[in-house]
Each structure stands twice: as C-alpha cells, then as structure tokens.
C-alpha cells in the first residue's frame, strides 16, 4: 500500500515537471493539425491590414513593436511575450494563428473580434515583420 502511494506521488510529480517549464510557465503548444495549417495570405496588403488589426486588437497588451510592453501589459497575470524573439518567430504560422484564434489565460480568443480567418492570417503576417 505504501509503495503504491509512493509510486503514485512520484508519477504525479513527474507529470507536473514535464507539464511546466523550469520558470513555472505551462508551455503553449498548438495541436499538430493547427500547427501544420498553411498560411494562405502573403504580400504587402496582408501585412498592412495585419498592422492595422494589430494596432486595434493587440497593441494594448503586446506593445507597438510586439515586445510585450503595451499599456495594459502590467495589468496581466501572464507575460504577453516578445514577438521579436527567435523563440516566438520559430513557431509555425499555423501555431500563431491557432493562438490568436483560441486564446489562453489573459490572451483572449479573437474568433468573434476577427471572424474572418483572413484577418487573423494578416495579423500572423504582420507579427512576422517584428523579428529582430
């Protein structure tokens, strides 16, 4: 009985260790099907539209240049992240689209605010321009 309880405790701790990064943040990975989704948008018009949508919907938390320093960033429980970093930029377009669409924690879902999928793809294309 004691051995079973001990093994259950070890297993539970192991799951927690793999579910969270060393800094205590739970990783946010898009499902494989979403991550592999191809971006149908491209070009200057898409980026321009994405920039306008970013200013309207994202800038208050993520900041004008996507560095996570928006006017509302200090009010959030979770860090909005820095879109210029390689760790963000290394994500697939499908992963970024999924996160904008679905949201998590302080990041709201934008399915209703941007019901046109093309608008979300435009935001994806714009944030790609924010890399260092």
Point out the residues of the chain with pLDDT beneath 50. 4-23
Query: Domains of the chain: which residue ranges?
Result: 37-128
If DSSP codes are grouped into helix, strand and coil, which group holds residue 53? helix
What are the distances in angstroms from CA 41 to CA 35, 48, 65, 80? Answer: 16, 12, 21, 25
Fold of 37-128: Cytochrome Bc1 Complex; Chain D, domain 2 (1.10.760)
Can you give the pLDDT at residue 69? 96
Can you give the pLDDT at residue 108? 94
Can you give the pLDDT at residue 19? 40
State the pTM of this model: 0.79
């Amino acid at each position: 009985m004691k051995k079973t309880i001990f093994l259950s405790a070890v297993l539970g701790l192991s799951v927690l260790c793999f579910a969270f990064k060393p800094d205590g943040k739970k990783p946010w990975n898009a499902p494989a099907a979403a991550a592999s989704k191809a971006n149908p948008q491209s070009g200057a018009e898409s980026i321009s539209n994405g920039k306008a949508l970013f200013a309207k919907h994202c800038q208050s938390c993520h900041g004008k240049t996507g560095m996570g320093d928006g006017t509302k960033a200090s009010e959030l429980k979770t860090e909005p992240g820095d879109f210029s970093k390689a760790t963000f930029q290394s994500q697939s377009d499908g992963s970024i689209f999924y996160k904008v669409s679905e949201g998590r924690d302080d990041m709201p879902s934008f399915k209703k605010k941007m019901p046109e999928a093309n608008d979300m793809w435009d935001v994806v294309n714009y944030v790609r321009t924010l890399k260092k």
